[in-house]
Amino acid sequence: MTERSVGYVETKHHHLKEPFRLVSGDELAEVSIAYETYGKLNSDKSNVILICHALTGDAHAAGWHEEDKKPGWWDVVIGPGKAFDTNKYFVICSNVLGGCKGTTGPASTNPQSGLPYGLSFPRVTIEDMVNLQHTLLNNLGISSLYAIAGGSMGGMQVLQWAVSYPGFMKRAIVLASTAISSPQQIAFNEVARQAIIRDPYWNDGDYYGGQLPKQGLSLARMIGHITYLSDDSMHDKFGRDIRENEMFQVESYLHHQGDTFTSRFDPNSYLYLTGAVDNFDLSNGFSLAKSFSNIESEFMVISVSSDWLYPSYQSEEIVQALGSNDINVQYRKLISHFGHDAFLLEKGQLNYLLSTFLGHLTVGDVMSEDVSTLREGCTLEEAAQLMILKNATHIPILDASGRITGIVTSWDITGAVANKISSIEKILSRDILTSHPDENLSSAALIMEDHAISALPVVDERGCLVGILSSDTISAMVGRGAK
């Protein structure tokens, strides 16, 4: 356990006193909600962040339970000094309705019969999950969110939150998700469901107290894991290595993932939750932009370059629909070979992107104010000497009032020497991109990436140089996030 961990945590349970009404009109009595919290709630309850989990996740998003062999599923971004900084924020994550990790679902006892619900459990939707989360927050005395975040099925919940309760949260973060489940996604889920249903022990979902349909659930999990990875990640992780039992390593991995999954997940919950994912369509068969017309939250949408389960075009459709409603939205793509699972694994990129969006980290927060400069009229020799003395690669050129008029780089000087150029004016760059201290850091970083530059001068409202932002600074921040 590291100093950036939230430490040991416990899952709490909230029991609703009144029946919970579903979108379908069905009601559930004696609903229980499992949830965990990290950090401290401030006096005006304005620092709350809700985390929404993916298909097979749970409320245990961070920290350690006494019996844990590994921390919560999103521990890489939740904790002191991480993106969801528990020194600043009060973070909540609850198990979804229909799940099997403490919140009422098909494996729960039906109070009317005294037996597990099984397939008598009513159909649930992503909207039902969100409504139950909203009920939980209200019962905890929380009337607004600073932010809400989730990936995959969790991202669907975030989008549903923004549509159903548009004024409830200030910021919304959607990772590796979609607003409309595609035929391919539905197809993979159907194959997984059929694996469960065709297990000889499924018994029409009434297997409680008897033999579980483990083979079917294991196969469903194996199918899922294939879609969570990428071709590159499989090559890197497994190659064509063969284990002692003469199985390819990838085969052994899939068998292990399937077998261990059967000890922690209910097959009926898998059926219900994949069904909710398949039926998710915020366009309502018409226009996604129209469905987003009342959204008030600022958005960050993140896709993964190698994700073929939730490909980037689906995130881009969300961005386009938000933008058509003049909603403030930032779009970023994780460059990763991990596939869909990158939203759980890319510690450095995630912490950088999420923390800058949540905290509105600005250029002024991280720029270097110790900038080596030269005045107009300087010589090529003076620039070279200053670069060597200060170990600098970029030297801004200023006029008498401190305004930046040009910039010279170490590459410019190398080229000048090679081409026997003696005048600095012949290599000086006059067409300069600049930033300002109040600019969002992620926006400035995107400018640097788009124009393939490693340093960005920072100027005030008069055009006077006040600092410089380097790619090394940004890389260092990403590196700190990865620790």
Q: Work out the average pLDDT over 181-186.
A: 97
Which among 468, 443, 446, 444 has a CA at the least distance from the CA of 458? 468
Mean pLDDT value of segment 193-211: 97
User: Which residue among 5, 152, 177, 291 is the active-site one?
Assistant: 152
Whether the per-residue pLDDT at 481 is higher than 60: the answer is no
Identify the pLDDT of residue 279: 97
- What pLDDT shows up at residue 3? 67
Res. 5: pLDDT tops 70: yes
User: Residue 109: CB partners within 8 Å, gap ≥ 6?
Assistant: 115, 116, 117
Residue 100: predicted pLDDT: 97
Report which DSSP code applies to 109: B
Q: Which of 175-184, 212-221, 234-243, 357-366 is predicted least confidently?
A: 357-366
| Closest C-alpha to 103, from 33, 56, 36 | 33
* 50-85 pLDDT tens trace: 999 999 999 999 999 998 889 999 999 999 989 999
Quote the pLDDT of residue 474: 78
The pLDDT assigned to 40 comes to 96
* pLDDT digit string, tens, across residues 26-53: 999 999 999 999 999 999 999 999 999 9
For residue 82, give the DSSP letter: S
Whether 479 has a pLDDT exceeding 60, the answer reads: no
**Amino acid 317: pLDDT:** 98
Which DSSP letter does residue 417 get? Answer: H
CA–CA distance, 234 with 338 (Å, rounded to integer): 9
Say whether pLDDT at 482 is over 50.
no
Point out the catalytic residue in the list 340, 355, 394, 435.
340
Tokens 């992503």 correspond to what residue?
126
In the predicted structure, residue 477 carries a pLDDT above the cut 80:
no
Q: pLDDT tens digits for 412-438?
A: 999 998 998 988 988 888 889 999 988
Marked catalytic residue, from 307, 315, 412, 442: 307
* Mean pLDDT of the residues in the chain: 93
Q: Are 341 and 229 in contact (CB under 8 A)?
A: yes
pLDDT (mean) for 391-395: 90
Distance (Å) of CA 284 to CA 197, 261, 277, 451: 29, 34, 14, 40
pLDDT, residue 483, reads 40
- Identify whether 235 is a catalytic site residue: no
The number of beta carbons lying within 10 Å of the beta carbon of residue 48 is: 23
Domains of the chain: 12-182+277-360 (3.40.50.1820), 374-472 (3.10.580.10)
Distance between CA atoms of 39 and 46, rounded to whole angstroms? 13
H helices then E strands: how many in the chain? Answer: 16, 15
pLDDT at 379 over 60: yes
Question: Whole-angstrom Cα distance, residue 346 to residue 231?
Answer: 17
Q: Which residues carry a binding-site annotation for substrate?
A: 221, 341
Asked if 460 is an active-site residue, the reply is no
From the annotation, which residues make up the binding site? 221, 341
Query: Is residue 152 annotated as part of the catalytic site, yes or no?
Result: yes
- Rounded to the nearest 10°, the torsion over CA 461, 466, 470, 474 is -70
- pLDDT higher at 268 or 380: 268
